[in-house]
Amino acid sequence: MMQQYRQSPIVVIGIPVEEGAGTPGAAMGPRMLRTAGLLTALRDLGCAVEDWGDLALPSALPEPPAGLANAHNFPAIAGWSRLIARETHAVLASGRLPLVIGGDHALSMGSVSGVARHCAETGRPLFVLWLDAHADFNTPATSPSGNMHGMSAAMLTREPGLEAVMGDEPHGAVDPRNLTLFGIRSIDRAERDLLRARGIEVFDMRLVDEFGVAVLIRRVIERVAAAGGHLHVSLDVDFLDPALAPGVGTTVPGGATWREAHLIMELLHDSGLVGSLDVVELNPFLDERGKSALLLVDLVASLFGREVYARGP
């Protein structure tokens, strides 16, 4: 399957956004991932890689809609989202694969919206695998914090209250039935009610412990393959156990192990279905000698074909 990725050049887009999070520092994430060797790791695999650098937030930002409350830094998040959506759509339209590095998880409002637009235009169903400790399914009406990185998945599935994020910017959405939340271990009460009402697939750590990551990831892969779908992967650092990856402002104990995380990436690579990727929430200020960034680079390399021992010709 490695040859498939070589035929689709990868475009790396840095998003230094931290306005969606409650702790500053995620804006430094893109630079740290590059410093940790992301581009070199991909090129060593034979991937064609273009680095488009970091996007910059426009000076003119959207106005928040009247009556909107409990959505902190809405103008900045809306501005970022519209810009990112244009970029990811352009990358896919040119036959390349967007690798969006951040930056807090609010950036996925833009990246996945652009991917969804492309999928709608090409008639290919979009599936999203959300690797995260949190569900990110709050809305301004339910969020305990008002931090918009916790509303990304809800916005992408068109939950009420977040329509103004994209405004008139062309974009697509995610069918709630095609969203899988994986590795979840922290859900707010109102989020839980919404997830059940919408029929979102949630593989929490209880299920991971009971069945193992291979069984559950293969379920996702089989669904996407059967539908001929495009798979977008959104990888949050806090998906990993904080002992392995402390460089994130939202750590939750009991996350994925090194071996579980690499196995997921290897199985996704073998599937040949991943057409776009986010790597989010790296906060170098909270990291320990770059260990989180280095692990993320290794995981991305596994997703694009790095193997300990090649098993085929």
Which one from 136, 169, 278, 287 is the annotated catalytic residue?
136
Which one from 238, 260, 266, 287 is the annotated catalytic residue?
238
- Compute φ and ψ for 200, nearest 5 degrees: -70, 140
Task: State the alpha helices, DSSP H only, in 176-249.
Answer: 189-198, 205-211, 213-227
DSSP state of 161: T
Which one from 118, 134, 230, 232 is the annotated catalytic residue?
134
Task: Answer yes or no: 171 catalytic.
Answer: no
Task: Answer yes or no: 118 catalytic.
Answer: no
- Compute φ and ψ for 192, nearest 5 degrees: -60, -45
Which one from 18, 132, 201, 298 is the annotated catalytic residue?
132
Closest CA to 149 of 299, 18, 261, 301: 18
Task: Answer yes or no: 204 catalytic.
Answer: no
Which one from 72, 89, 105, 269 is the annotated catalytic residue?
105
Q: Name the residue type at position 39.
A: L
Task: Answer yes or no: 269 catalytic.
Answer: no
On whether the CB atoms of residues 135 and 180 are closer than 8 A, the answer is no
Which one from 19, 281, 287, 298 is the annotated catalytic residue?
281
Which one from 54, 169, 236, 266 is the annotated catalytic residue?
236
Burial class (CB in 10 A: 0-12, 13-18, 19+), 94: exposed
C-alpha dihedral (2, 132, 254, 299), degrees to nearest 10 = 20
State how far the Cα of 202 lies from the Cα of 289, in Å rounded to an integer.
33
Phi and psi based region of residue 290 (left: phi greater than 0; alpha: psi -120 to 50; beta: remaining):
left
State how far the Cα of 308 lies from the Cα of 313, in Å rounded to an integer.
14
Task: Answer yes or no: 236 catalytic.
Answer: yes
Beta pairing partners, 182: 131, 203
Strand order in the sheet with 230-236: 49-54, 10-15, 97-102, 274-280, 230-236, 126-131, 179-184, 201-204
State how far the Cα of 119 lies from the Cα of 5, in Å rounded to an integer.
18
Task: Answer yes or no: 50 catalytic.
Answer: no
Task: Answer yes or no: 132 catalytic.
Answer: yes
Q: Name the residue type at position 163.
A: E
Task: Answer yes or no: 149 catalytic.
Answer: yes
Which one from 89, 118, 149, 262 is the annotated catalytic residue?
149
* Total residues belonging to the chain: 313
Active site residues: 105, 132, 134, 136, 149, 236, 238, 281
